[in-house]
Chains A and B, each alone.
Chain A
Amino acid sequence: MSPEMIRLIASATGETLYMVAVSAGIATLLGLPLGIFLATSGKGELYAAPWVNRGLGVIVNAARSTPFIILVVAIIPFTRLIAGTSIGTSAAIVPLTVAATPFIARLIEGAIREVDQGLIEAARAFGASPLQIVLKVLIPEALPGIALGLTLAVVSLIGYSAMVGAVGGGGLGDLGIRYGYQRFMPETMLAVVVVLIVLVQVVQSIGDRLSRHLNKRVRHS
């Protein structure tokens, strides 16, 4: 493999990491409160607002069922509004974030719903406010699940980021398609796939380790 090609792979890896990191960060900031709200606004829950809950649920489902490549194209005007352009690596962060936010919200909702209802009851019984219950009970108790959920989200984002080549987003997927497939350079394709596999492995094992570390429900030896 030529030095030129190695340089290309390295910069594509950088683009992928950049897109994934920024979109995962923003999507977590947006998805965390959204997920918490979804998990606590059902009928009879802490912030009971069943209609808002249902409405948000529909929106989240709609966003999640739109195929990512269609989403990328469909929200181009929105992307332009936010990023000033609809083309390039930074612009690609917008659709990635839009796709990841509802996904992360659902994962966080799931993790929060796993928390034993008895803990909420105990916290209410000693006089905790809904906000204190969220901050001091629900989030800390759900943290192992949240860590696993975010790991899954990052892994999915690495996959999604391969598709943003369609709008000039660059990154590893784009490199693989343009060089490996269109110019028929199988060794480039292979290199791209290997880098992606390594990335996913690293992310997954960091996430697993973090979750295990946070999980005090099982005894550690």
Chain B
Amino acid sequence: MNAPLGYLGDQPLQRLVPAEPIVRLEKITKVFAGRDGLPVSALEGVDLAVPQGSVLGIIGRSGAGKSTLIRLVNGLEKPSSGRVIVDGADISALPEAALRHARRSIGMIFQHFNLLSSRTAAQNVALPLEVAGYDKAAIRTRVEELLALVGLSDKRNRYPSELSGGQKQRVGIARALATNPKVLLSDEATSALDPETTRSILDLLARINAELGLTIVLITHEMAVIRSIARDVAVIEGGRIVEQGDVFDVFTRPQHEVTRSFLGDETGRALPPYVANRLQPEPKPGSQAVIRIGFRGPHATDPVLARLARDLGIEANILAGSVDEIAGRPCGTLVIGVPEQSLKTTIDFLKQYGLDTEVLGHVA
């Protein structure tokens, strides 16, 4: 499982200086011919930059355009307009032969693994090397390294039908890394796996990113995937990127409604039904104001509720909450109820601490 990664060493570890982004999408639009012949717009003006060595997660509902987006990066799809620059080359303008060559430095893994059933694990990993014209001895050495990297040396002669889902994805990862790519594209690579296997595949990807300095672009509809390995996130909806940035910032201060709905139950943002059902937009006599407090970064661990009670004598009623860690930083959400007359004082008090507040409504 923990093979010495040094063996794969011709990958330079140059993550310290953020230079030109390794992947850059400029003003991308993509229009398909629909079933009835009418054009269907899949992407509408997408700009995206992925720095070398980073992990970018693109999240969106099905049909949001994320599959099209990731396929633009290795030229499986051509943009209708705009440019796709990968490692300095304009992928969208390369002729076929040059594009095939460029694809060797862009690995890809898939939701359904896409392994050849007629080849063993080792033969599947060897395939991109055969295609690239490596000699037999070089292929053998490289395949062993890769199988060791993904922890499957003992399964080298197994056919995919004899492997579990997680093992198949490991073979897929080894195959994607065969030609020493600079970018790894992950197309819903864990969506067909159970949570535990997902965990182990994500750990492997994180390790590859950290130790090989490989840039990873992944698409998913699962917030948990983004949370566990991505450093940057882009939220895509209706062919547009509606929100993007550092995972911690986007997750703790979601601006767009789609992002919020994805976050929903992930970080305790969804209200428990007994609160949600009673929530009123206007205060009533004797009702309480419901406030959502977002704890981020340095203030995530401050005992603000205790201070609220001690300094101002306001007794808050805790309705829901969770504490979490995103991208290695603590964050939390707390939903509290306070008497209507104390609402303004409470909010001002919380703002002093730099906490995010949002009045959700009122409950009787």
Contacts and interface: CB of A to CB of B under 8 A. Distances in A.
Interface in A103-147: 116, 118-119, 121-129, 132, 136-137, 140-141, 143
Most buried by A among B104, B118, B175, B179: B118
A183 interface: no
Interface in B89-103: 97, 100-103
Main SS at interface, chain B: mixed
Interface residues of A, number: 24
A106 B165 CA distance: 34
Contact of B132 (A118, A127, A218): A127
B128 interface: yes
B74 interface: yes
Contacts of B106: 125
Chain B: interface size category: 20 to 34
B100 A129 contact: yes
A216 interface: yes
Nearest to A126: B128
A121 B103 contact: no
Nearest to A124: B76
B341 to A, nearest CB: 62
Interface string B98-142: 001111101110101011111100000001101110000000000
B119 A140 contact: yes
Contacts of B97: 129
B179 A127 contact: yes
Contacts of A126: 103-104, 107-108, 127-128, 131, 175-176, 178-179
Interface in B175-212: 175-176, 178-179, 185
A127 B100 contact: yes
A119 B108 CA distance: 12
A136 B131 contact: yes
Nearest to A116: B114
Contacts of A216: 117-119, 159-161
19 contacts: A118-B112, A121-B110, A122-B175, A124-B76, A125-B74, A125-B76, A125-B108, A126-B107, A126-B175, A126-B178, A128-B100, A128-B128, A129-B97, A140-B119, A141-B116, A143-B118, A214-B118, A215-B117, A216-B161
Given A122-B114, A136-B127, A218-B161, 17 more contacts: A119-B116, A122-B110, A125-B76, A125-B103, A126-B108, A126-B131, A126-B178, A127-B101, A128-B128, A129-B97, A132-B131, A136-B130, A140-B119, A143-B118, A216-B117, A216-B119, A219-B162
